[in-house]
């Protein structure tokens, strides 16, 4: 069996490890445009603030490709997939044939048309190791940095460069920060916390026009800056799949086997849409654990296995300046909220199941909540009042679930 | 692989395992200086109910969701099947805390990385200290 993998990040590594669980010698060729050993993409902000370095941020050991017998072509882009001939073409002019193909091309930064953007000399996105290095090189302790976008990537960037820049201003069209992870109450707590570290927010506003080092906003306000970071959002990298005639909506459409509309082609991660079991809808869940687990599922199936990725839910853990948020699932249902101004907890239930939660501050044992969502545990089989107060295994009936979980002897 | 198991019927809820865990991982050789006036942050935790108590620590899952979810590649399974943490790689994002179904992984004292039970393989004890000191032999270290 000949496997070709496009990508070299969480999805691709999951696929390699998934294949190798069953097929120890089938040839694997891995092709990726970035010229680096697999690295942890979310760590680029930690690299800038000195909490990691290029060696430590490797996602797998230096011997990963060798250990897994992977022919890694790094710094090479795939330009075309031909599903009929079962080949891929590279920008080096090579044509490589496959029996099973895997696509984990991830996402690319979205840059909306903004008037006068071409007059800005120092402008960056924040998605790759190269983009982080370029931004780092442009910063001085006096730099005034303007970040467009108060989502996860924009704010992680702000935290990463906090000690390296003079002033940081974040502008977002939304009326609150981190809208994809937090509700209004949670956003307010986090916003105050980040502001206490000297980062300034301008919300419900957007850039009307750039002129060199000045941004005029739609409200009429003006922000002077030296360095611009655009972090308004990401788009799934689906061009290759589309051109190959695969079924693509916003992301590449995959089933619970992580297979695309072509039976020989699998896909995972940020470039795909998959089932969110809390809503029953297919969506893009652009987060690293999903990318890895989908990739692993695809890899097992490519090697002839019968794995299912049928527990997919959005789930995210993120912290800023020591204040942590963990969240999972979806938020349509009955709410239970506890808040003391610093710690915040919200649990959402519907149809007798836990559907989603947000914990900020105290995140202890949050995985017990996540597992209730992923396993779709009927809440009438556990002591939910107990688990509501704090996540604990005591809530599971002693004679069944808990024994199984802890493999307690009868 | 040998793992730590707790027999609920015998657990007294005395929390001694938590203290012996904290001591074993303190790097100190004297229990008093290790634990006096310290708010302990043990890797094994006792849950107390009305008529039952039990201690919980990492189950060293054969299919570990913490390892698959770690954004830094800091968690891994070693050749014995034990789940290990490389604290040098860990950035303290707590994704693993978000996914561990046992609540068995927790922030370490400075909050910049996580800690979990590594069966006392990295602290000089050799065998699990909680098992060695449980007064009622409620915690065992065995193959099941
Ligand atoms: C700053 C930042 C912080 C983040 N923080 C978190 C976090 O805290 N938690 C979390 O869960 N997620 C986080 N994420 C998201 C996470 O990084 C992604 O979900 C994850 O990397 C997705 O993995 P992937 O394998 O799908 O794709 P990607 O990581 O995007 O990798 C895509 C790969 O495909 C290759 N490629 C693309 N096109 C081609 C082509 N035509 N030919 C060859 N190769 C190609 C690229 O070189 C790359 O190797 C963060 C992302 C960023 C940018
Ligand atoms: S930390 Fe949790 S998920 Fe990871 S191996 Fe231990 S019990 Fe399993
Ligand atoms: S806290 Fe550390 S070990 Fe846990 S997921 Fe984050 S980087 Fe990995």
Q: Where are the domains of chain B?
A: 3-142
Q: Does A56 sit within 8 Å of B106, measured CB to CB?
A: no
H or E segment and range at residue A386: helix A384-389
Ligand 2 centre to CA of A309 (Å) is 19
Q: Does A365 sit within 8 Å of B98, measured CB to CB?
A: no
Report which ligand 2 atom has the smallest distance to the Cα of B67: 4
Q: Phi and psi dihedrals of B94, rounded to 5?
A: 70, 25
Q: Is the CB of B67 under 6 A from ligand 3?
A: no
One domain, residues A138 and A80 = no
Which pLDDT does position A104 carry in this prediction?
Answer: 98
How many domains are contained in chain A?
3
Contacts of A319 in chain B (CB under 8 A): 92-94
A106 phi-psi bin (left φ>0, alpha ψ -120 to 50, beta other): left
Share of residues in chain A with pLDDT > 90 (%) = 93
- Where is average pLDDT lowest: A264-278, A295-309, A389-403, B125-139? A389-403
Write b or e for each residue in A55-74: b if 16 or more Cβ atoms lie within 10 A of its Cβ, otherwise e: ebbbbbeeebbeebebebbe
Confidence of residue B144 (pLDDT cuts 50, 70, 90): confident
One domain, residues A392 and A326 = yes
Nearest CA residue ID for atom 6, ligand 1: A42
Average model confidence (pLDDT) across chain A:
95
Residue A315 falls inside a structural domain: no
pLDDT in tens, A220-255: 999 999 999 999 999 999 999 999 999 999 999 999
B8, B73, B92: residue with CB nearest A58:
B73
Residue A9 falls inside a structural domain: yes
Ligand 2 centre to CA of A16 (Å) is 22
Q: Does B100 sit within 8 Å of A367, measured CB to CB?
A: yes
Q: Which ligand is nearest to the CA of B102?
A: 2
Q: Hunting for tokens 């998605």 — which residue is that?
A: A127
Sign for the CA dihedral angle at B9, B14, B16, B17 comes to positive
* Domain containing residue A133: 117-232
Class at the top of the CATH hierarchy for domain B3-142 = alpha beta
One domain, residues A373 and A298 = no
Nearest CA-CA distance, residue B60 and chain A, Å: 11
Ligand 3 centre to CA of A346 (Å) is 23
Which pLDDT does position A340 carry in this prediction?
Answer: 87
Which pLDDT does position A267 carry in this prediction?
Answer: 98
ipTM over 0.90: yes
Q: Does B103 sit within 8 Å of A324, measured CB to CB?
A: no
Tell me what the mean pLDDT of segment B39-67 comes to. 94
CA torsion angle for A232, A10, A268, A284 (degrees, to 10)?
Answer: -30
Residue A312 falls inside a structural domain: no
Domain-ending residue, one of A193, A217, A232? A232
Q: Does pLDDT of A404 surpass 80?
A: no
Domain-ending residue, one of A232, A262, A282? A232
What is d(CA A277, CA A112) in angstroms, rounded to the nearest whole number? 31
Q: Which ligand is nearest to the CA of A326?
A: 1
Q: Is the CB of B131 under 6 A from ligand 3?
A: no
One domain, residues A68 and A129 = no
Which pLDDT does position A324 carry in this prediction?
Answer: 96
One domain, residues A164 and A84 = no
Say if A144 is an interface residue toward chain B (CB within 8 Å).
Answer: no
Q: Is the CB of B6 under 6 A from ligand 2?
A: no
Confidence of residue A3 (pLDDT cuts 50, 70, 90): very high
Confidence of residue A410 (pLDDT cuts 50, 70, 90): very low
Tell me what the mean pLDDT of segment B104-117 comes to. 95
Tell me what the mean pLDDT of segment A21-34 comes to. 97
The CATH number for A135's domain is 3.50.50.60
Which pLDDT does position B29 carry in this prediction?
Answer: 86
pLDDT in tens, A330-366: 999 999 999 987 899 999 999 999 999 999 999 999 9
Does the reported pTM lie above 0.95? yes
Q: Does A51 sit within 8 Å of B89, measured CB to CB?
A: no
Mutate to test the pocket of ligand 2, among B69, B77, B99, B116 (most ligand atoms within 8 A of CB): B116
Residue A223 falls inside a structural domain: yes
Look at strands A344-350 and A334-339 and give their pairing: antiparallel
- Joined tokens for residue A398: 């002693």
Confidence of residue A398 (pLDDT cuts 50, 70, 90): low
Residue A317 falls inside a structural domain: no
Residues linked to residue A357 through DSSP beta bridges, in sequence order: A328, A347
pLDDT in tens, A168-224: 999 999 999 999 889 898 899 999 999 999 999 999 999 999 999 999 999 999 999
pLDDT in tens, A73-113: 999 999 999 999 999 999 999 999 999 999 999 999 999 99
What is d(CA A288, CA B70) in angstroms, rounded to the nearest whole number? 8
Contacts of A398 in chain B (CB under 8 A): 8, 52
Report which ligand 2 atom has the smallest distance to the Cα of B116: 1
One domain, residues A7 and A74 = yes
Ligand 3 centre to CA of B99 (Å) is 11
Among candidate residues A69, A62, A61, A66, the one with its CA nearest the CA of residue A24:
A69
Confidence of residue A400 (pLDDT cuts 50, 70, 90): low
Q: Does B8 sit within 8 Å of A367, measured CB to CB?
A: no
């Amino acid at each position: 069996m000949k496997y070709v993998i496009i990508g070299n990040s969480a999805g691709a590594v999951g696929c390699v490890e998934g294949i190798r669980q069953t097929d120890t010698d089938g040839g694997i060729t891995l092709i990726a445009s970035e010229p680096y050993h697999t690295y942890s993409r979310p760590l680029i902000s930690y690299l800038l603030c000195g909490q990691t370095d290029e060696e430590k941020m490797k996602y797998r050991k230096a011997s990963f490709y060798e250990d897994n017998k992977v022919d890694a072509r790094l710094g090479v882009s795939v330009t075309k997939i031909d599903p009929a001939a079962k080949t891929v073409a590279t920008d080096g002019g090579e044509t490589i044939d496959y029996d099973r193909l895997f696509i984990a091309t991830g996402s690319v930064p979205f840059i909306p048309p903004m008037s006068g953007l071409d007059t800005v000399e120092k402008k960056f996105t924040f998605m790759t190791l190269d983009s982080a290095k370029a931004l780092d090189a442009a910063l001085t302790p006096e730099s005034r940095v303007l970040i467009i976008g108060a989502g996860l990537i924009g704010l992680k960037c702000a935290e990463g460069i906090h000690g390296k820049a003079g002033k940081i201003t974040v502008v977002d069209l939304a009326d609150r920060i981190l809208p994809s992870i937090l509700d209004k109450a949670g956003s307010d707590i986090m916003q105050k916390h980040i502001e206490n570290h000297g980062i300034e927010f301008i919300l419900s506003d957007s850039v009307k026009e750039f002129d060199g080092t000045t941004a005029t906003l739609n409200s009429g306000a003006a922000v002077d800056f030296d360095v611009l970071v655009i972090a308004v959002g990401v788009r799934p990298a689906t061009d290759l799949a589309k051109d190959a005639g695969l079924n693509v909506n916003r992301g590449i459409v995959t089933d619970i086997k992580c297979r695309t509309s072509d039976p020989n082609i699998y896909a995972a991660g940020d470039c795909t849409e998959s089932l969110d079991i809390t809503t029953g809808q297919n969506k893009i869940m652009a987060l690293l654990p999903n990318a890895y687990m989908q990739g692993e599922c695809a890899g097992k199936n490519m090697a002839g296995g019968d794995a299912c990725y049928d527990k997919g839910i959005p789930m995210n853990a993120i912290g800023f300046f020591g204040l942590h948020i963990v969240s999972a699932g979806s938020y349509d249902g009955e709410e239970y909220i506890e808040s003391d101004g610093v710690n915040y907890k919200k649990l959402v239930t519907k149809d007798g199941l836990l559907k989603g939660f947000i914990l900020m501050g105290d995140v202890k044992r949050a995985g017990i909540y996540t597992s209730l969502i992923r396993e779709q545990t009927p809440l009438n089989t556990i002591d939910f009042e107990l688990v509501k107060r704090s996540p604990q295994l005591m809530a599971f009936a002693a004679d069944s679930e808990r024994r199984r979980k802890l493999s307690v002897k009868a | 692989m040998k793992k730590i198991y707790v027999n609920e019927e015998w657990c007294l809820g005395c929390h001694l395992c938590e203290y012996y865990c904290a001591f074993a991982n303190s790097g100190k050789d004297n229990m008093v200086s290790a634990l006096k006036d310290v708010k302990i942050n043990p890797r094994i935790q006792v849950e107390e109910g009305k008529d039952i108590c039990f201690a919980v620590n990492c189950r060293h899952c054969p299919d570990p969701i913490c390892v698959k979810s770690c954004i830094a590649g800091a968690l891994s399974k070693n050749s014995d099947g034990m789940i290990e943490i490389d604290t040098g790689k860990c950035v303290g994002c707590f994704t693993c805390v978000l996914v561990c179904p046992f609540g068995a992984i927790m922030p370490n004292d400075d909050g910049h990385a996580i800690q979990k039970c590594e069966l006392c393989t990295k602290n000089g004890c050799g065998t699990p200290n909680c098992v060695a000191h449980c007064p009622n032999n409620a915690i065992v270290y065995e193959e099941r």
